[in-house]
Chains A and B, each alone.
Chain A
Amino acid sequence: MILNEKKRVAFKTLGCRLNQYETDALVTDFSQAGYELVDYNESPDVVIVNTCTVTNQSDHKSRSVISQTARKAKNAVVVVTGCMANNFKEKLESQENITFVVENSRKSSILTLVDAHFSGEIAHPDQLPQDVFRYEPVKKSLHTRSAVKIQDGCDNFCTFCIIPMVRGNAVSRPVADVLESIRKTVENGFKEIVITGVNIGRYSDGATRFEDLLAQILEVPGDFRVRISSLEPDGFGPDFVKLFAHPKLMPHLHLCLQSGSDKTLLRMRRMYDVEQFRKTVTQFRAIYADFNFTTDIIVGFPGETEEEFGQTLEAIKEFNFSHIHTFKYSVRKGTRAERLENHLPEKVKTERSLQIRDLSVENKIDYFNSFIGKTQDVLVEKVAHGVASGYGEHYIPVRFKLAGAQKNAIHKVRLLERKGDDENSYLFGEAVL
């Protein structure tokens, strides 16, 4: 539907890369339908809040954003979608400040719902088709990089995780659709594509597994590079490591360890142990010595002893993660971990979380310092006051001065020094012309 009177739409996104991708795809949808993209402070006609529910904190943030948005955009149609919409559907539907609550499986059809609403039709979200892969390739976006979704859902049933309940069973997008989406996204001008999903290592379409798909993606013609979003450590085969020799594939993985204790990993129902994780890291670094590993760690999982936590600290030092996304364990209703014994006090979780944060900063500084004097190809995401900023191949934030630097361009940069606060460190460099 092309609108006679240009409507204004605003987006708020919480949580993971997958949510960000789905929002970007919706931005493309609304933009192509003639909607103007605005901030939620600028009196939008529609606000879409794409929520997260992975932790208590995510719930809190999502609730807060919904309230704030509804308050500021008083007369707007407020659409709440994302994982929290699945987890607390009935509760959200009863809130007067929300117009529509749309489950993840119907998220890709939000434009249809909003158009119908503005046309005076009585529309209900439950009438929308369910298709988790219906998203158009991203054209108009809130980000410089574009994600392409290859998979959704998860069947691992880790004991702490609510995601299988809110994202559903694991499903994989057909190979041909993925490759077509990559081609179109490249045609739309994106220089970096992030392969995303809920558990992408479990990708399976006929005989095609994750690394087979990745090999095909790397052979798509065009000037672009490929990054992999969060990955479970157990879902890929022996050929995976070799693929990183391809110049398009960036040397960085966010490989989710969660704990450095085998006992804790078993209680979490993770499918690997520390030794297997070590094997993977060793394989990578034997070939690519400066390969960047980042990770997720859950602290204060039920029953986590001082000894088990100590093993996590040791693992962090050993694997030299340059960044750690630390989650204090929080109960998700309906998960197995909710029923485990020995839940830890918040104080213990906070103390342990701080210890991990300190180690993470140390690792980050060491890792960043090891790049001083080297060069990186930096994709520019922002240019302000003559300073360009973006990320190098290893996902290190880099800034440099260059007259006429453009967003979405790749520049070779020699890295000169580390700047910024510890946690917000970046490398400053000079463009190699």
Chain B
Amino acid sequence: MSAADPLISIVEDDESLRQAMVGLVRSLGYRVASYPSAEDFLAADARDRSNCVITDIQMPGLSGIDLKLRLTAEGVATPVIMVTARAEPALHEKAMASGACCLLRKPFTAEALIDCLDQALAA
């Protein structure tokens, strides 16, 4: 792993899931930074350094969708992969409409994440 490897930022409030995602993304050979909330991510000013953001949708405070809208409003084009445990079609539509490049249903497989990451990093 080197500084040249893409940096993936993970935003997830559930600590154990966050750790698991960090481990998985690292196993794929990427650099990883993780944040327990969208607010922490924004405060760390990691938007421009990240090649991709993976965020949970349901979080206290700003949701994953709020985060994407905020980035778009700021003119940050970093691709955002969203993750949710919910199955409601309305939520999926809302996520895609906000500009998510990919939506993962928990629990997801490594292959599904790899596909999403490939898609996001190719963009």
Q: Tell me if chain B binds chain A.
A: no
- Write the residues of chain A forming the contact surface with B, with a CB cutoff of 8 angstroms: none
- Write the residues of chain B forming the contact surface with A, with a CB cutoff of 8 angstroms: none
